[in-house]
């Protein structure tokens, strides 16, 4: 295989499970650093800032810097600011989304927004749903950071940003623009940050439906690693249902190291 000029690496399920590092995650990043191969950590998580994501990785012994992190919040803020610099935005989300929007020069408002941008919001309630639906019906553009229906947590699975987005879409009758995986927007944002064309970039992830699909949609090469969602038992079914086929399949991160390094 042709060695990648840059890598876009998924986090949960690829480098760690919750607070547990997956075997080989630290070695992969250290090898890329030694080879001076550019890479970014790419996550659908909209709640955390890049600093918080990097700190979480460092706690598990995985080298990381905030500038190496691409979140769906950062990509959403960039998307809106390129369409409408300084736009008025109503936000349903948490710290990571708020910081990204403000850093992009957007105004967070509570009346007459031009955009409604929604991520995971663990303080979501009926009034927020009502306001979002009314704003969208009045013409505000609906933006969803990521369509994940469920999120892993220490106590088990919990509803994700996509579950809240489904309620807003059902009530408003308007499909949102989706930023995170499996959309190509997040991957194109990340490859642009590397200064590389998508075809020069490899996506490494554990989920055919999100990571690999996003890479394919963006025009990147893809490496599926069997450390998370996709397994030997369900891979064929996921490929049939999505029409997505990874370029390479690795059983673990040690195989990924052998493949790309």
Catalytic residues: 10, 12
Phi/psi at 157 (5° precision) = -75, 150
Angle at 206 between CA 261 and CA 146, to 5 degrees: 120
Return the residue matching tokens 């960039």. Answer: 78
Q: How far apart are CA 199 and CA 165, in angstroms?
A: 31
- DSSP H or E segment with residue 190: helix 185-194
Q: Count the alpha carbons within 13 Å of 111 in the hemisphere toward its beta carbon.
A: 0
Q: How far apart are CA 241 and CA 256, in angstroms?
A: 25
Q: Count the alpha carbons within 13 Å of 161 in the hemisphere toward its beta carbon.
A: 26
User: What is the token pair recorded at 75?
Assistant: 């990509």
Among residues 20, 98, 8, the alpha carbon closest in space to that of 56 is found at 20
């Amino acid at each position: 295989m042709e060695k990648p000029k840059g890598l876009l690496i998924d986090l949960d399920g690829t480098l760690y499970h919750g607070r547990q590092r997956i075997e080989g995650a630290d070695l992969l990043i250290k090898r890329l650093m030694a080879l001076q191969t550019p890479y970014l950590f790419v996550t659908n998580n909209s709640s955390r800032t890049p600093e918080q994501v990097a700190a979480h990785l460092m706690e598990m012994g995985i080298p990381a810097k905030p500038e190496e992190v691409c979140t769906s919040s950062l990509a959403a803020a960039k998307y809106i600011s390129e369409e409408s610099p300084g736009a008025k935005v109503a936000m349903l989300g948490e710290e990571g989304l708020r910081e990204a929007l403000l850093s992009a020069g957007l105004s967070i408002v509570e009346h007459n927004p031009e955009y409604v941008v929604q991520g995971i919001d663990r303080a979501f309630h009926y009034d927020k749903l009502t306001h979002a639906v009314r704003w969208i019906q009045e013409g505000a553009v609906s933006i969803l950071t990521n369509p994940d229906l469920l999120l892993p947590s220490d106590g088990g699975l919990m509803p994700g940003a996509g579950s809240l987005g489904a309620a807003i879409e059902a009530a408003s009758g308007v499909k949102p623009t989706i930023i995170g995986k499996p959309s190509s927007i997040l991957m194109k944002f990340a490859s642009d940050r590397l200064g590389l064309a998508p075809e020069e970039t490899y996506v490494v992830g554990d989920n055919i439906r999100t990571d690999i699909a996003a890479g394919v949609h963006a025009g990147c090469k893809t490496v599926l690693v069997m450390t998370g969602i996709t397994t030997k038992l369900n891979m064929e079914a996921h490929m049939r249902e999505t029409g997505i086929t990874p370029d390479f399949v690795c059983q673990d991160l040690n195989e990924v190291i052998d493949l790309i390094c």
